[in-house]
Amino acid sequence: MQNRVVFLLFLLPALLVAFFFVSALTEIFQYSFREFIPGSLDVGGFTWANFARINRPIYFFAILDTFWLAFLTALFALLLSYPLAYALVRTEREWLRTLLIILAITPLFTGEIVRTYAWTLLLGTEGMINTILKGIGLIDTPIALMYTRVGVVIALVQFAMPVMIILLATAISHVNSDYEKAASNLGASPGQVFWRVTVPLTMPGIIAGFIVICAWTMSAFATPQLIGGGKILMISNVVYLTGFSALNFPFAATMSVVALVSAFVVLALMKLMTARIENKIAIH
């Protein structure tokens, strides 16, 4: 009995947080079905007009851009993070492992606004990237990186890489190195060992990292707002513009619901795909 009371006491804070979280989501959900009254913070009655409005090009393409940018961010973050995560786990030099951990985690200690502002200095027409490219003679005129999808993806990838590295390093650390040694003893080259042993065994971590970064990037706000300069709109930017600029809180709630449902769908796909791959690996 005493253990049950202690357990409930520890569980109570989590239940309170869950209650307020669900209450906030419920409020957003019911707001998404309310009528917008121009010039007033009050809302009208029940309506489906907010969801029908999503078909307008500006909002429809904002949703498509959100999915596309999230996909590209997860893809490039995966390609850049896997070698670092592999080196972090497999290196035998302690100083190198420490250095890689510092490089991987340090960006998490700086705020999103600070990192995004730093990228505005790097991606500008007179920024460091264009200056270096002109200095070595690769370009004659500056490349437009600010206010473009390319610039937004570059900044988002840097923002997502620490989390991707942590997820991949966890997956790689669970791979028994004896499997790799056995493949090498059977005549497999290092490349074959990597592609036919290491990568398949870490596939659940790869998929988990890819989908988590996709879902996380869907809620990006500061990076597309500052790097995109209003030309690249994601769902969060539309929510801000409609809710805090136009004071159309019902439609802002509708876009929030769309983003939330999309994130849940992505996470559900992650669970399904990971389970299937784990079953295939277990069979083979």
Report whether 184 contacts 196 (CB < 8 A). no
Q: What is the DSSP annotation of the chain?
A: -HHHHHHHHHHHHHHHHHHHHHHHHHHHHHHTTEEE-TT-S-EEEE-SHHHHGGGSHHHHHHHHHHHHHHHHHHHHHHHHHHHHHHHHHH---HHHHHHHHHHHHGGGGS-HHHHHHHHHHHHSTTSHHHHHHHHTTS-SS----TTSHHHHHHHHHHHHHHHHHHHHHHHHHTS-HHHHHHHHHTT--HHHHIIIIIHHHTHHHHHHHHHHHHHHHTT--HHHHHHSTTSS--HHHHHHIIIIIS--HHHHHHHHHHHHHHHHHHHHHHHHHHHHHHHHHHH-
Residue range 167-190, pLDDT digits in tens: 898 888 888 777 777 877 777 787
- Residue boundaries of the structural domains of the chain: 68-283
Residue range 200-258, pLDDT digits in tens: 888 888 888 888 888 888 888 888 888 888 788 888 888 888 877 777 888 888 888 88
Note the pLDDT of residue 77. Answer: 93
Amino acid sitting at position 12: L
Note the pLDDT of residue 281. Answer: 57
Note the pLDDT of residue 72. Answer: 92
Instruction: Report residue 277's pLDDT band, with 50, 70 and 90 as the boundaries.
Output: low
- Label residue 230 left, alpha or beta by phi (over 0 means left) and psi (-120 to 50 means alpha): left
* Domain covering 68-283 assigned CATH 3.40.50.300 in the classification: no
Which is more confidently placed, 54 or 3?
A: 54
Note the pLDDT of residue 282. Answer: 53
For the segment 113-134, the average pLDDT, to the nearest whole number, is: 81
Helix axis angle, 128-135 relative to 112-123, nearest 10°? 30
Compute how many other C-beta atoms are within 10 angstroms of the C-beta atom of residue 1.
5
Residue range 88-106, pLDDT digits in tens: 888 777 777 788 778 777 7
Q: Which value, to the nearest 10 degrees, does the dihedral of the CA atoms of residues 245, 247, 249, 254 take?
A: -50
Instruction: Report residue 79's pLDDT band, with 50, 70 and 90 as the boundaries.
Output: very high
Amino acid sitting at position 219: S
In the chain, the percentage of residues whose pLDDT exceeds 90 is 4
C-alpha 153: how far from chain center = 11
For the segment 25-49, the average pLDDT, to the nearest whole number, is: 78
In the chain, the percentage of residues whose pLDDT exceeds 70 is 94
pTM of the entire predicted model:
0.81
Question: Which residue's structure tokens are 């990228």?
Answer: 119
